[in-house]
Structure formats: structure tokens, C-alpha cells
Amino acid sequence: MALRAVAEVQAELLADAALCESEVCALGSAHGRILREDIVALCDVPPADNSAMDGYALRLVDVVEGGALPVSQRIPAGCPAEPLRPGTAARIFTGAEIPAGADCVVAQEDCELRDGGIAPKVGLRLRQHIRPRGQDIAAGSVVVHSGRRLSAADIGLMASVGVSQCWVARRLKVALLSTGDELREPGQVLAAGQIYNSNRPMLGALIQGLGGELVDLGIVADTAQATADALRRAAELVDIVVSSGGVSVGEEDHVKDQLEKLGSLVLWKLAIKPGKPLAYGRIGEVPFFGLPGNPVSSFVTFCLMLRPYLLAMQGAAKPLPASFRGCADFDWPRPGSRQEYLRARVSADGRVSVHPQQSSGALSSVAWGNALAVVPPGHTVKAGDAVDYILLSELGA
Ligand code: AMP
Ligand code: MG
């Protein structure tokens, strides 16, 4: 199979992702979930004209040079207001409803207490310090659209229009397998030839960060039998199976062969660096992703391929990571045949530098950076060139 271009494979994967069911979710548990309905405002926000200041509500026509207005009522936030008696002021607090008839609020620091009343010390404007009804949101308007990954602000917005629960994508069950006889878990003692399993907790964190329910099936030995057993068992338990390692063509790599025996291989080998060997297929109806073993390759292919797929399964409107443009602070003189995702740091003024160690095994470069700089196949980069990047914070990484 020839190497496939990143964008082409992404489009194919998104088209192949089956939409999962939705479920009702209380607002308090909705953070990060994918919304599956349009949220319509049940009321205006604010629901009534209210004061933006602690001060006095009055009618502009009642204000005369040097005169004081008696205070006829007191309106704390949350209390109903009486209509304003002409020729008087109402003591009012931030968030309290403006009494009918009042057309102006004077801040308390702009008033003088005189002759048992209040006298404004400054010039007044009609409707000053009044937050009008519906200023933020009009009843009946759509405040959050279906397909949105709910942020804290979205949740606040939904609450502000009276919504207490919403339809979201149900949590996907994701099985995670780590292949490799060399792997030991952190906390164990390493013997000669062994390394710690870093993909397992890293991929687990990424999956859980997407709202997935992790079914961690641990380490799988590098044999055809163990790989087949693990894939078969995993597919019975979950919505999607993910493995790391064992996906190349070495004698110790069994994932691709066993996937082809148990189910079907749809995609293999991407024109991406790091991460060329990536297997996508199905075990029965259950989708399967075989990520590469090298930790940076695993990370990058998760972010570029599996993450959009998991988001598409949940109905996300924008499953692909957003790309931004900065100014290269580095030279990349050798054009590659694959699209490169360089571990990069973007400064506040948009300058992009890259980590000196770009090996696919060097996770410290990912932890050092805040972005992946994208160099398309056949391209070189000179300092000062425009360069596209993806922010790790946007990937929940
Ligand atoms: P593989 O794709 O299985 O040939 O693995 C490629 C490289 O990634 C090898 O150096 C492995 O030791 C390493 N590797 C594979 N799986 C993991 C893992 N879970 N954690 C850390 N390194 C791994
Ligand atoms: Mg291996």
C-alpha cells in the first residue's frame, strides 16, 4: 500500500466514523461533552432592565440643578420594585430590577446625601448604568449549537437561559492495549532490555480527556496468539479498540496480521512523521486503531487521526484540530516525503521554535512544547517563513 496523505486519510476516517447514541446529561456533568441538540434560550438575559451599579434610580426630568430627591424605596437584588414615584429616587443595588418609570441610575459615589435626599454631583445620560432586558440574549435564540464541545462558558450560558440538562453524545467505551514484551509498568523494576510503558497512561489520559470511558486491557505479549486473543476480547467489550506498538512489519509485529485475520484492515501507513505505521480497520463492527509504538508517534497519530475520529463518533461539528499560522524561528532545510509534525514552542508574539531532538522516541520534546509545527511533504522552512501549527492545549494534551 502506498503512503496516504494526512488530509485525505483524515477525510476518509471522518466519513467512516459511525455516530454514537446520545443521552441526557445534567449541566453539572456536561463539561467537555459533545452537545447533540441546539440549545434555545427559554428567557431573555437579563430577564428585565436592571442596575449595573449600587446607586440610585431616578427620572432624568426630576433632576434640577442644586436640588435633592427624596428616597422613596429601597430595591436590593432579587426584590420586586414598586413603580418609581415621580420626583423621588429609589435606592438600588447591582442586579436589582429598575423600577418602572426610572430612566437613569446614578452611582452612589456620584451622589451627595443632602436635605434627607440625594443630589447627583455629575452630569447624567439617559439610561446610564441600566443593563437592558435581553442585552445578552433574546428569548428563542439558539445560544449553543449542536456539535459543540461544551466549554465552561457554554455551560454558564446554558444555565443563564434556564436550561438544566441537555442531550450529549454518550460516553464511548474505548479499549486500550499496549503491545510489547519489553514493557513494564512504572513502579516495577526494569530488567535488561526492558522499558517503562509510557503510552498506556498517556493514551489513557488523552482518551479520558475526550470523555471516553477507558477499558485498560494492559500489556499484550508479542505473539500472534496473544494479539489475536486480546483484539477479540477487546472488541467484545467496547465501542472502539486502540492499541499501541506492534503495527510495523517486523517478525515481532502482529497487530496488522491479526487484524486482517480477525476483521479487516482499511488503512495502513500514512505519509506522516512521526507515525508512518498506523492501522485502521474493523473487528466485526467495532473500529480498531493500531497506533505506532514510539511514544511521540503514538501521541501525534492519536491527535491527528484518532482524536478527530472519536470526536466525529460523538457528533462534533469540528473534529479536526484548528491550525494557526506563526513565524518560523528555525530552519528545516531537508524536504521530507511525509508531512512532519515538529514538536514546537510558540511564543506570545507568534514565533515558532522547534525542539532540537525530534526523534519519535523522545517524549520530552512534546512535554517541552506547546504546539506541533506542520511541515508539508516536499517543503523546507527558513527562519522568517510563515509556518502552520496546532496548539497542544486545543488537543487536550
Ligand atoms: P513497535 O511499534 O512495537 O515496533 O515499537 C516501536 C518503539 O516504540 C520500540 O522502541 C518500542 O520499545 C517502543 N514502544 C512500544 N510501545 C511502547 C510503550 N507502550 N511505551 C513506550 N515505548 C513503547
Ligand atoms: Mg513492539
Q: Could you read off the pLDDT of 238-263 as tens digits, one per residue?
A: 999 999 999 998 999 999 999 999 99
Taking the CA of 197 as reference, the closest ligand is 1
Closest CA to 131 of 73, 60, 44: 44
pLDDT at position 239: 98
Q: How many CB atoms lie within 10 A of CB 226?
A: 17
88 lines ligand 1 (CB under 6 A): no
Rounded alpha-carbon distances, angstroms, from residue 377 to 10, 90, 141, 174, 374: 16, 70, 45, 32, 10
Give the pLDDT band (50/70/90) at residue 397. Answer: confident
Q: Is 274 in the pocket of ligand 1 (CB under 6 A)?
A: no
Distance (Å, rounded) from C-alpha 268 to C-alpha 247? 9
pLDDT greater than 80 at residue 374: yes
Position 30 confidence tier, pLDDT thresholds 50, 70, 90:
very high
Q: Is 200 near ligand 1, meaning CB less than 6 Å away?
A: yes
Q: Over the stretch 351-363, which tens digit does the pLDDT of each residue have?
A: 999 999 999 999 9
C-alpha cell at 17: 466514523
**CA 199 to ligand 1 centroid distance, Å:** 8
Q: What percent of the chain has pLDDT over 90?
A: 95
Tell whether omega for the bond before 274 is within 30 degrees of 0, i.e. cis: yes
Average pLDDT in the chain = 96
Q: Verify whether ligand 1 is closer than 6 Å to residue 294 (CB atom).
A: yes
Q: What average pLDDT score do residues 1-29 get?
A: 94
CB distance 208 to ligand 1 below 6 Å = no
Asked if pLDDT for residue 1 goes beyond 80, the answer is: no
Q: Please give the average per-residue pLDDT across 121-147, as a whole number.
A: 97
Here the cell at position 185 is 509498568
* Mean pLDDT, rounded, for 147-163: 97
Residue 379 pLDDT > 60, yes or no? yes
Buried b (16+ CB within 10 A) or exposed e, 151-173: eeebbebbebbebeebbbbbbbb
- What end-to-end distance do the CA atoms of the chain give, in Å? 31
Given a cut of 60, whether residue 215 has pLDDT beyond it is yes
The phi, psi pair for 40, rounded to 5°, reads: -105, 135
| Cα gap 375→388, rounded to integer Å | 8
The residue whose CA is least distant from atom 10 of ligand 1 is: 294
Q: What is the pLDDT of residue 2?
A: 72
The reply to whether ligand 1 has any atom less than 6 angstroms from the CB of 199 is yes
Q: Which letter does DSSP use for residue 359 in this model?
A: -
Would you place residue 3 in the very low, low, confident or very high pLDDT band (cuts 50, 70, 90)?
Answer: confident
Query: Has residue 49 got a pLDDT over 60?
Result: yes
Residues 159-168, mean pLDDT to the nearest whole number: 97
Assess whether pLDDT exceeds 70 at residue 33. Answer: yes
What does the pLDDT look like over 89-100, one tens digit per residue?
Answer: 999 999 999 999
The answer to whether the CB of 180 is under 6 A from ligand 1 is yes
Q: What are the strands of the beta sheet with 89-92, ordered from one edge?
A: 104-107, 55-58, 89-92, 69-75, 117-120, 111-114
- The whole-number pLDDT of residue 190 equals 98
Give the whole-angstrom CA distance, residue 66 versus residue 290. 81
- In this predicted structure, what is the pLDDT of residue 66? 82
Least confident piece of the model among 62-71, 123-132, 346-355:
62-71
How many angstroms separate the alpha carbon of residue 212 from the centre of ligand 2?
Answer: 25
Q: pLDDT tens digit string along 176-201?
A: 999 999 999 999 999 999 999 999 99
Q: Is the pLDDT of residue 377 over 60?
A: yes
Question: Relative to the CA of 198, which ligand 1 atom is closest?
Answer: 20
